[in-house]
Amino acid sequence: MEFKNFSLFINQTKVNRFADDLAGGKIMSTRCKKCGKQYYPPQADCPSCMGSDMEWKEIKTEGKLLTFTKIHVPPEHFAVRQPLMPFSSIQFEPCPIGILEVEKGLPVMGWIPKMDIKKIKVGMKMKASPFTLPDGKITIVLEPI
Ligand SMILES: [Zn+2]
């Protein structure tokens, strides 16, 4: 699987393995073998010590929600289409998106597709999981646990 199949449309990267692992159900980080700093999203080089000797490490996917918002005009492949209204074009349902803090404070961003935004609370326990969209692209979703 190419990295372009991840939802961000990036096709030039030194961390191509990230999308392959997501497709396999794992959310991966990188860890600097020299200074021990861990990165998510994964980085090929360590901004802390400038080293490039990195190892891949699966992250723990449960954590607490740091923050969230809703996207009113999501990328089309994330959108839930609503019926057409008179005198308007296509309407989309606002989609919640949040940042989950997992092990060692790593921030994992993901869509929150199965919850009413009024029921989402900062600090709630959630789990991040890879999710394959109908068009084959892969993203990350957050669900309460
Ligand atoms: Zn380092």
Query: What does the pLDDT look like over 69-114, one tens digit per residue?
Result: 988 776 666 666 666 556 655 566 778 999 999 988 999 999 998 8
Say what the pLDDT of residue 138 is: 86
Beta bridge partners of 111: 97, 141
Say what the pLDDT of residue 80 is: 60
* Rounded distance between C-alpha atoms, residue 128 and residue 103, angstroms: 12
pLDDT above 70 covers a percentage of the chain that reads 77
Q: How far is the CA of 36 from the centre of ligand 1 (A)?
A: 6
Least Cα distance to 59 among 17, 20, 101 occurs for 101
Q: How far is the CA of 33 from the centre of ligand 1 (A)?
A: 7
41 cis-preceded (ω within 30 degrees of 0):
yes
Say what the pLDDT of residue 5 is: 57
Say what the pLDDT of residue 13 is: 66
* Rounded distance between C-alpha atoms, residue 62 and residue 106, angstroms: 11
In this prediction, residues 26-37 reach a mean pLDDT of 96
Q: How far is the CA of 31 from the centre of ligand 1 (A)?
A: 8
Q: How far is the CA of 7 from the centre of ligand 1 (A)?
A: 28
Q: How far is the CA of 57 from the centre of ligand 1 (A)?
A: 15
Question: Are the C-beta atoms of 137 and 7 separated by less than 8 Å?
Answer: yes
In this prediction, residues 18-22 reach a mean pLDDT of 89
Q: How far is the CA of 50 from the centre of ligand 1 (A)?
A: 6
Q: How far is the CA of 85 from the centre of ligand 1 (A)?
A: 54
Q: How far is the CA of 53 from the centre of ligand 1 (A)?
A: 8
Q: How far is the CA of 51 from the centre of ligand 1 (A)?
A: 5
* Rounded distance between C-alpha atoms, residue 90 and residue 85, angstroms: 8
Least confidently predicted of 2-16, 26-40, 95-109, 114-128: 2-16
Q: Report pLDDT digits (tens) over 47-80.
A: 999 999 999 999 999 999 999 998 877 666 666 6
Domain locations along the chain = 1-59, 60-145
